A and B are shown apart, each in its own frame.
Chain A
Amino acid sequence: MAKSKEEKVLSTLWSAGCGSHGGCGCEIFVKDGKVTRVEGDPNHPFNQGRLCAKGLALPQYMYHPDRVTHPLKRVGERGEGKWKQITWDEAYDTIETKLKDIRSKYGAESVIFCQGTGRDIGGAITFLMYAYGSPNWVQVGLAGHACYTPRLGAMYATHGHYAVADCSQFLEKRFEDPEYVLPKYIIIWAQNPSAGCHDGFYGHWIIDCMKRGSKLIVIDPRSTWFSSRAEVHIQNRPGTDGIIALAMLNVIINEGLYDKEFVKKWCYGFEELKKRVQEYPPEKAEEISWVPADLIRKAARLYANNKPSAIQWGEPVDAMPAGSVVSQAINHLWAITGNIDNPGGNVIARNSHGVTTYPFSSAELTELYGADLVKRLNEKRIGANDYPMIKGFRGWVQPDVLIEQMETGKPYPVKAAWIQTSNIIGGQAADPRRHYNAMKKLDFIVCVDIFQNPTTMALADIFLPVCTICERDSFRSWWQPLGVSVKAVDEVGESKSDWDINLEMAKRLATTPIKFNTVREIFDDRLKVGNTNFEKLKAKGGWEFPPKGDKTRPYYRYEKGLLRADGKPGFDTPTGKVELYAKRFEEWGLDPLPYYEEPKEGPVSTPDLFKKYPLILTTGRRSPVFFHSEHRMVPWLRELDPDPVIEINDKTAADIGVANGEWVYVENPRGKIKMRAKVTPTSHPKVVTVPHAWWLPETDGKAPNLFSTWDHNVNNLTSMGNQGKSGFGGTNLRSNICRVAKIKD
């Protein structure tokens, strides 16, 4: 290969292609207008030259023969799989006519704008939605909003900002920076970090810390690579994480292991918390969680006695009953030990340079669009009036309320959906059949995606082809650094970037004129708060850390008056302190203190039903080669993980007559799916784990098969309507029940 003739483009991976939450610096090699290779950028502090399987498979993803590269119009019935290639003009004309008509008849709120997980789509989709005038921005079917938002909401209520385990990622020189201190212990709470970059956290940073001497405490129902290397492994019953956290607080407070000076100076409500955690001694936690009380004590003591230590947590925390409450209890662990915004603890993470790619919070929305618009949006936003925390924190629709509204048409009908980078039926939604039935009835549906998938096939009237991250400009400020994605090659076929599509569509649909002519103008407008622009960042190699003293750079900002709008020392909460007793929860009509809530189904809540379905089913086991429902069609990746696999304990499998590699039914009162058994002692005898979002792109895409989504998507065994009191958490994604039986044919 004559590599010298290749051109090298430095960029940031985020979104379609590599898939994940991203942030990796990459080198895109281009020859004759085509991407030949994608590699890690050794000069980028985020990944330091490394790259995951998904990033490395980008060329095969980009040039895949199944990629949709022209706008399509449905010509048969929904689900029939009959499409006609059309021009962009025809696609835009059709959409404009339909959506304007719906707006004039039913109001802009009758159109929902649906995205998948948080990537560079958020800016583009809200930009279009607010231009059109709808308040309904949603991750359809994401029951209890169980993906980071419950954790973010709890942190916002507790200390006004979000905090992340400090693996030196906020410093340009990383581990070499003299300001940095290594965590003595890292608690990995309900996550397999090596499988990806969950919530923008590059999982292998944990390994970087371990190599330098950090020790581990792992809280996971499953034995993993990390638990093998942990000093303490808390193998709890799924769904009981809340009582583990409360019992650890009990130990740390009653044994006086907390940071007394920090609590006295910076915390509010310690006495109330102390009183509350008396209800949760380790012995009580043992009864409920299967974890020996002394092991909980050991974990609590190691964490509290070894400062600094950090906690890295995962999505299962959100999916607990009362997810935001479990998050709050875990949050209090780093609060009362003073492991907040200190080197090697949990540092406050803010969008780099204060740049946001899209308006995140109600406060930001107000700043951008004015209080009047936010007020009007909240009046119509689905679920905002049912849940004060939904209204008060972030501009999302509550998905459990949405499905009911789609079915009943009350208080107003949902008529159309703009679905962009979201596979609702094939992975995002709990109870996908219910969503399929409800959404099939909508008057008009646009899907914007790269490949056909169960959702586009079942629902799209118009399919708009979008391009991958290598074919578009974008920018990223999810924590740090501030980075740009640089368009390395022309779009494949007629595909376009999400931002291009949404700006063009917004110009047609906006009720007041759009002030931007080009996408670049929007980017530069967002970036100006960081005193930079797209070209400047690109010229610097694609990224930049905030300068010293910037309020988005650690450490100890609460002492320096860098966290509050009024510039006073303290935290951005009503009392200016870390609120162990959360005033904001109180204001939202919620218990201001953490408590334990039992999963709705299982050995404790439904013992009779549990006899019939005697295994606890945990979904969402991550594969390092796929991101949610993506990548199943990419040979380089699929070869590594070819089948949907259920992990089942060897003794349990022997009891029910299942051998390794056999296909089994996984069944519960809500449905039945097929999985391949992996018989392994890494599974707890009473717990089985399955990956989510499986579909088979190589099978028939037409309804009713829809790429075999009904056979393999485990969400067919889950349900909506279990949300916690706050509107967050409480789903049956992690603490579900099932039975497993060999398929006899």
Chain B
Amino acid sequence: MPRNGLLIQYDWCTGCHACEVACKQEHNFTGGMVGIKVHELVTVGPDKVHTDFIPVTTRFCDLCAERVKGGEQPACVKHCQATCMMYGPVATLAKAMEKQPRSSIYAPK
């Protein structure tokens, strides 16, 4: 069975945190436990200051194993307000990544 993962085109991530709360709701995580976390990245360029957000999966991400069995997208992918996440076999994601700058693939399990 191919390994699944998440392709995140992080250039579009606005830092809205919907993925994190979607994850908590789906798994009923409490006490700060979460399967994905968004980090702010501030860099100073020659003419302006840049703000980016980088979502990273954590050790608690199970790619919504139960949920995807029913044919649904992982909760974070579905609710991402910037629609910048894709779920699928890592090889497929890698192919899509060739056309998408500033992105990363996570294969959490």
Interface size grouping (class) on chain A: 35 or more
Give the distance to chain B from A487, nearest Cβ to Cβ, in Å. Answer: 21
Flag if A624 contacts B42 (CB, 8 Å): no
Q: Which of B18, B31, B52, B83 contacts A56 (CB 8 A)?
A: B18
Looking at A64-72, A221-229, A438-446, A572-580, the stretch in contact with chain B turns out to be A221-229
Bound-complex Cα distance A227 to B53 (A): 14
B 39-69 to A, binary, CB cutoff 8 A, 1 in contact else 0:
0001010001111110000000000001000
Q: Is A637 in the interface zone, CB < 8 Å from B?
A: yes
Q: Decide: B18 and A207 in contact? CB cutoff 8 A.
A: no
- Chain B residue numbers with a CB within 8 Å of A681 are 42, 44, 49
Complex Cα distance A107/B80, Å? Answer: 52
User: CB of A680 within 8 A of chain B?
Assistant: yes
B95 to chain A, nearest CB (A): 20
Query: A637–B21 contact, CB under 8 A?
Result: yes
Contact with B along A223-260 (1 / 0, CB 8 A): 11101100001000000000000000000000000000
Residues of A within 8 A of B80 (CB): 50
Asked if A624 meets B78 with Cβ closer than 8 Å, knowing A37-B25, A228-B51, A680-B42, the reply is no
Please state if A225 and B15 are interface contacts (CB–CB under 8 Å).
Answer: yes
Task: Report whether A52 and B18 are in contact in the complex, using a CB–CB cutoff of 8 Å.
Answer: yes
- Taking CB atoms, residues of chain B closer than 8 Å to A410 are none
Using a CB–CB distance below 8 Å, which chain A residues touch chain B? 1, 3, 37-40, 42, 49-53, 56-57, 59-60, 194-195, 203-204, 207-208, 211, 223-225, 227-228, 233, 624-625, 635-637, 639-640, 680-682
By the criterion CB–CB under 8 Å, are A204 and B81 in contact? yes
Using A39-B79, A57-B21, A635-B30 as known contacts, say yes or no to A223 and B49 having CB atoms under 8 A apart.
Answer: yes
Subset of 14 A-B contacts with CB under 8 Å: A3-B70, A51-B18, A52-B18, A194-B82, A204-B16, A204-B82, A207-B12, A225-B51, A625-B17, A636-B24, A636-B25, A640-B17, A640-B20, A682-B51
Option from A1, A50, A233 in Cβ contact (under 8 Å) with B18: A50
Most buried by B among A51, A60, A223, A637: A51
- Whether the pair A682, B49 counts as a contact (CB closer than 8 A) is yes
CB distance from A224 to the nearest CB of B (A): 6
In the complex, are the beta carbons of B30 and A53 less than 8 A apart? no
Chain A, residue nearest B20 (CB): A640
Closest-CB distance, A259 to chain B (whole angstroms): 31
Taking a contact as CB atoms under 8 Å apart, the answer to whether B17 and A223 are in contact is no
Cα-based distance from A477 to B105 in the complex (angstroms): 41
Query: Closest approach, in angstroms, between the C-beta of A656 and any C-beta of chain B?
Result: 20
Given A635-B30, A636-B21, the answer on whether A50 and B81 have CB atoms closer than 8 Å is yes
Are A207 and B82 in contact, with the CB atoms below 8 A?
yes
CA gap between A636 and B21 in the complex, in Å: 6
Q: Which of A1, A49, A51 sits near B66, CB closer than 8 Å? A: A1
Give the complex CA separation of A53 and B81 in angstroms.
Answer: 10
User: Across the interface, do A52 and B48 meet the contact criterion of CB distance under 8 Å?
Assistant: no
| Closest-CB distance, A181 to chain B (whole angstroms) | 21
Q: A51 to B25, alpha carbons, bound, how many Å? A: 12
Complex Cα gap A50–B82 (Å)? 9
Please tell me if B101 contacts chain A, counting CB pairs below 8 Å: no
Complex: how many Å from CA A468 to CA B80?
24
> Which chain B residues in 51-109 approach chain A with CB under 8 Å?
51-53, 66, 70, 75, 78-83
* Nearest CB in chain A to that of B75: its residue: A39
In whole angstroms, what is the CA distance A211 to B13 when docked? Answer: 12
Please indicate the chain A residues that have their CB under 8 angstroms from the CB of B82 in the complex: 194, 204, 207
Evaluate contact between B16 and A624: CB separation under 8 angstroms: yes
- Nearest chain A CB to B59's CB is how many angstroms away? 17
B23 to A: closest C-beta gap in Å: 9
Residues of B within 8 A of A208 (CB): 83
Partner of A53, one of B17, B31, B32: B17
A50 touches B51 (CB 8 A): no
Q: How far is the CB of A464 from chain B (nearest CB, A)?
A: 29
A59–B25 CA distance with the chains assembled, in angstroms: 8
Please state if B79 and A204 are interface contacts (CB–CB under 8 Å).
Answer: no
- A204 and B14 in contact (CB under 8 A), knowing A39-B79, A225-B52, A228-B49? yes
4 tightest CB-CB pairs across the interface, nearest first? A194-B14, A53-B21, A56-B21, A204-B81
- Give the Cβ gap from A213 to chain B, nearest Cβ, in Å: 14
